[in-house]
Amino acid sequence: MTAPLRPPRGFAAVALAVALGTAGGALFQLLQLPLPWMLGSLTVVTLAAMLGMRMHLPSVVRDGAVPIIGLMLGAAFTPEVIARMAEWWLTMSAMVVWAVAGTALAYSYFRLFTGYDRVTAFFSATPGGLNDMMLLGRYYGADDRTISLTHAARLITVVFTIPFWYRFDGTLPPTSRPPGAALTDLGLGDAGVLAVCALVGAWLGTALRLPAGLLVGPMILSTAAHLAGLTGTAPPAILVAGAQVAIGVAVGCRFGGVTFGHVGRALFHAMVIALIMISLTVVTALLVRQWTDLPMPALILGFAPGGLAEMSLIALALHVDAPFVACHHIARIVFVIFSAPLVVKAAGAKPAGDRRDD
C-alpha cells in the first residue's frame, strides 16, 4: 500500500518556499513585469500558501536580506541629497498629518464594517511596521493574527498597485535586471567595506533599537562609507534580486494555515483600506506639490502606505529620490511606534496581563 503524501517539514518546507519564490520571480522577469523578483515570489508563494502547501522561511533569511536594501539606499545618499534634507520639513509635517488622517479613516472603517474590537481595529489601521503593530497589538490584548493578516494584505495591495501603475503609464520601463552593480564590478575592497557596513550596521541597528534597525543601521554606515570615499559601488544586482525574493517569500508565507474565506475577507477589507490610503496619498502629494519642486513619483512613494523596504525598492527601480522615500518612511514608522501606545493608553486600553475579570 502506498504511503500517504505528507506535507514537507523543516528543510523541505524552506526549500519549497525558496524554489517557488525564485520560480515566481523568474516568471515575472520573463514577462517583463515590474519588480519581478519581489512581486513574482510574493504572488506564487501567497497562492501556494493559500492552497495549503506547508512552507516556511526562517526569520534569519529575511533578516539577512534586509541589510542589502540598506546598503543600496546608503549608496544613494550623495552630498547633494544630504544638503537637501533640511528642506524636507514641509513634507515631513505633511506625512504626520497623512498618518493621522489615514489611521482615523481606516479605524472608522474597521469599526463600522468588520466588527473588530477597538484595539484590534486601531492596530490594524495604523500605518506602522507589520511586526511592530502586531507585537504592540498583542501586548494590549488585540487579535494579533488579524492585525498581521490585515497589514500583510494591505502591503500586497500597495506593492502591486503602485509599481503596476507606473509600469503601464510608462514611468517604470521594463528592466532586464534589478538595480545594483554587476558582480564583476565588485572588487575585494568594495566587497569588504559593504560586508562590514551590512554586518556591523545590522548589529548596531538592532542593539540601539532603531526603527527598522536591520535596514536603517546598514543604510547609515553605507552612507558614511560612500561619503567618505571608502567605496563607490552598490551591492551586486544578483544580491538585490535575492533580497527581493526573500522579502516576497516572507510576506507570502504569512498566508499559510488560513482558509480562503478568512483570507478573502481580510484581503477585501485591506484592499479597501489600501485604496483609501492610496487616494489620500495622491491628494496629499498633489497638495504638497504646490509648494515643492519634488516629482510626483517621489512624493507618492514617500507617503504611500507600504513597507519601508518595499517602497525603497520601488524608488530605486524608478530612479527617483530613494533617500527622500526612505527617510519619510522611517519618520512615519518612528511617529507611529511612539504615538500608538499613547493613543491606546489614553483610550483606556490596558496590557493584556493587567486585565482582571469582573
Digit-coded pLDDT (tens) for 38-74: 888 988 998 888 888 888 888 888 888 889 988 988 8
Between vectors from CA 334 to CA 98 and to CA 254, what angle results, nearest 5°?
Answer: 90
Nearest to 310 by CA among 95, 74, 99, 35: 35
**Exposed/middle/buried for 356, CB within 10 Å: 0-12, 13-18, 19+?**
exposed
The residues, ordered by sequence, that sit 6+ positions from 295 with a Cβ below 8 Å of its Cβ are: 320, 321
Q: Is the residue at 2 inside a domain?
A: no
User: What's the pLDDT score for residue 347?
Assistant: 83
* Band (105; pLDDT cuts 50, 70, 90): very high
Range of the domain at 184: 11-51+58-352
Q: Give the highest mean pLDDT range of 39-43, 48-52, 142-146, 197-201.
A: 197-201
- Rg of the chain taking only CA atoms, in angstroms: 20
CA gap 330, 307 in Å, rounded: 10
Q: In the structure grid, which three cell numbers stand for residue 225, read together?
A: 562609507
How many helices and strands, by DSSP H and E, does the chain display? 15, 0
User: What's the pLDDT score for residue 181?
Assistant: 59
Query: Is the Cβ–Cβ distance between 23 and 45 less than 8 Å?
Result: no
Q: Give the highest mean pLDDT range of 37-46, 64-73, 219-228, 331-340.
A: 219-228
Phi/psi at 51 (5° precision): -80, 0
Distance from chain centroid for Cα 128? 10
Q: Is the residue at 6 inside a domain?
A: no
Q: Is the residue at 358 inside a domain?
A: no
Split into its structural domains, the chain has a count of 1
Terminal-residue alpha carbon distance, the chain = 57
Residue 147: CB atoms within 10 A of its CB come to 26
CA gap 76, 312 in Å, rounded: 11
CA gap 31, 354 in Å, rounded: 53
* Band (176; pLDDT cuts 50, 70, 90): very low
Q: Is the residue at 129 inside a domain?
A: yes
DSSP state letter for 236 = B
Hunting for cell 529575511 — which residue is that? Answer: 62
Q: Which residues pair with 181 in a beta bridge?
A: 236
Query: Is the Cβ–Cβ distance between 322 and 336 less than 8 Å?
Result: no
Q: Is the residue at 273 inside a domain?
A: yes
Q: Is the residue at 1 inside a domain?
A: no
CA gap 353, 154 in Å, rounded: 29
Task: Look at residue 189 and tell me whether its pLDDT is greater than 80.
Answer: yes
Higher pLDDT, 320 or 291: 291
Q: Is the residue at 3 inside a domain?
A: no
* Band (35; pLDDT cuts 50, 70, 90): confident
* Band (159; pLDDT cuts 50, 70, 90): confident
Give SS3 for 181: strand
- Choose the weakest-confidence range: 233-242, 298-307, 347-356: 347-356
Give SS3 for 13: helix
Average pLDDT, the chain: 83
Task: Look at residue 173 and tell me whether its pLDDT is greater than 70.
Answer: no
Q: How far is CA 129 from CA 152, 170, 186, 272, 354, in A?
A: 10, 30, 33, 19, 25
Nearest to 301 by CA among 283, 271, 287, 321: 321
User: What's the pLDDT score for residue 2?
Assistant: 43
User: What's the pLDDT score for residue 169?
Assistant: 63
Q: What CATH number is associated with residue 46?
A: 1.20.1530
Q: Is the residue at 47 inside a domain?
A: yes
User: What's the pLDDT score for residue 155?
Assistant: 82
